[in-house]
Amino acid sequence: MTHNVVLKNETKLCSTKSFVSVNGKFPGPTLYAREDDTLIVRVTNLVQHNVTIHWHGIKQLRTCWSDGPAYVTQCPIQTGQSFVYNFTITGQRGTLLWHAHITWLRATMHGAIVILPKRGTPYPFPKPDKEKIIILGEWWKSDVEAVVNQATSSGMPPNISDAHTINGHPGPVPGCISQGYTLHVESGKTYLLRIINAALNDELFFKIAGHKLIVVEADASYLKPFEIDTIFLSPGQTTNVLLTANQPIGKYLIAITPFMDAPIGFDNLSSIATLRYKGIPPYTKTILTNIPPLNATPITKTFTDSLRSLNSKTYPTRVSLTIDHSLLFAITVGLNPCDTCITDNKLVSAINNITFLMPTVSLLQANYYNIKGVFTDDFPSKPPMVFDYTGTDQPANLHTDNGTKVYRLNFNSSVQIVLQGTAMIAPENHPFHLHGFNFFVVGQGLGNFDPEKDPLRFNLVDPIERNTLSVPNNGWIAIRFRADNPGVWFLHCHLEVHTTWGLKMAFIVDNGRGPSESILPPPKDLPIC
């Protein structure tokens, strides 16, 4: 299949702009595949921006060259150039997403990946009558690249988006009547909704008036089904739910509302769509619903606490019980000197006080060809100083160290990372995404992680398996994964503002023994920097 990256003009919120798209669509085209299929996608860049595409959540076994983050696994595709992404979907089925992975272009360059089970393999839940894709996003009236460039030069937080979108529709907002998305249903039928949060910087609630949702999958991993009326998605997360059209025939409000439990700027506009039953009379009033408060932490906790992997005979949960690498990553926001900035300082983010600097060639090429001077493999396994991470007594020195540092893992070693939130400057939720792997969420909590007591409460039986998960505001999560995929793998906050500020790092997983445990050679058309 072909992804042509082209400019598109579109009017939203009573304002017209030109933006970067794939095949002139927003959201972009859906990729359909089955487990074990090989996908070959030719991406041709016909715009003035450098581009790459990341297949978010695809494990890329031995095909790290096709993962997509710019300057991590490839140099970007330059204007007029093409690159063929070639990868096989191994042991995965469900809903994922693809998106641009350079600067902020994923605001408009994104779409769904639907991975169907192998032929003859049923879903582990009742077969739905129909399936629908629902992609949640954000929309800026201005050019998104100009927004991030202005923030970078000023050292201040970027301007927030003007609306949230549902399948590209912002719906009506104050001062502008615009069409919203309509979900058409028939009474008595059951629908599998494949819901994707493709927003840049906002975690979102999803709710349909008068209807319960049965959650059956998250991040392309099957779950023990549970019923709930509000689901919660961080940027990069996907959730599949069953919706049965079992209410009186009518029109019902669908609400997308942001979650923010920290005193910082964000787009607090709700976006609305309509669930419409077949056969309703004209001028039927829409049935409304109560939307969650902006800081509804209990609702997010109820949802995340309900997530359990299926752990069946067909889909077992294999959590590492022994640990080779035990890492504590403290997430901080700091201030570094900046000559061009308004206050002579710029906001930065760091893991273990390292603000990650992107190289000018790809880390994967530097590692594969043993190019010196691009990175060092001394990323710290713990914070440089111990302090009360979530308390009121925070370090006075807010400066961080800049560096292109990676952490090296032996093939097939087992890894535990405790991601620890801190109260430095701006404590908030941080949705972290790990490339190349799924991880098991074995524990989470508020306050500081206690290495003696907290592991005693870890769930090692049926923890949720994900590729993206939020570190709670002033709290921690513990994740485990097995480093059985050679290559260079990015770990970063999926709030694009924080990635821009340096809240990222990379793992290098060394080759194992023999070809089957080694990364494939680079493709001949790999872009050059």
284 and 360 in one domain? no
Whether 256 is covered by a domain: the verdict is yes
Whether 528 is covered by a domain: the verdict is no
Q: In sequence order, what are the beta bridge partners of 11?
A: 16
303 and 193 in one domain? yes
Whether 336 is covered by a domain: the verdict is yes
Tell which of 122, 137, 167 closes a domain. 122
Tell which of 245, 280, 309 closes a domain. 309
Whether 319 is covered by a domain: the verdict is no
pLDDT in tens, 1-34: 999 999 999 999 999 999 999 999 999 999 999 9
379 and 300 in one domain? no
pLDDT in tens, 427-462: 667 799 999 999 999 999 999 999 999 999 999 999
Whether 442 is covered by a domain: the verdict is yes
Whether 513 is covered by a domain: the verdict is yes
Give the number of domains in the chain: 3
Tell which of 92, 122, 152 closes a domain. 122
Range of the domain at 71: 1-122
Residue type, 113: I
What gap in Å lies between CA 118 and CA 114, rounded to an integer? 13
What gap in Å lies between CA 429 and CA 468, rounded to an integer? 12
Angstrom CA distances, 49 to 67, 102, 143, 364, stand at 19, 9, 13, 22
Whether 273 is covered by a domain: the verdict is yes
CB within 8 Å of 281: residues ≥ 6 apart: none
129 and 118 in one domain? no
506 and 391 in one domain? yes
289 and 163 in one domain? yes
| Strand positions, DSSP E, 312-362 | 325-337, 345-351, 354-356
Whether 183 is covered by a domain: the verdict is yes
CB within 8 Å of 475: residues ≥ 6 apart: 390, 421, 444, 445, 446, 447
Please report, for the domain that includes residue 188, its CATH number: 2.60.40.420
Q: What is the pLDDT of residue 263?
A: 52
Termini Cα distance of the chain: 25
Q: What is the pLDDT of residue 477?
A: 96
Q: What is the pLDDT of residue 418?
A: 98
255 and 139 in one domain? yes
144 and 107 in one domain? no
Element spanning 70, H or E: none
134 and 92 in one domain? no
473 and 429 in one domain? yes
| Residues in the chain with pLDDT values less than 50 | none
271 and 335 in one domain? no
489 and 470 in one domain? yes
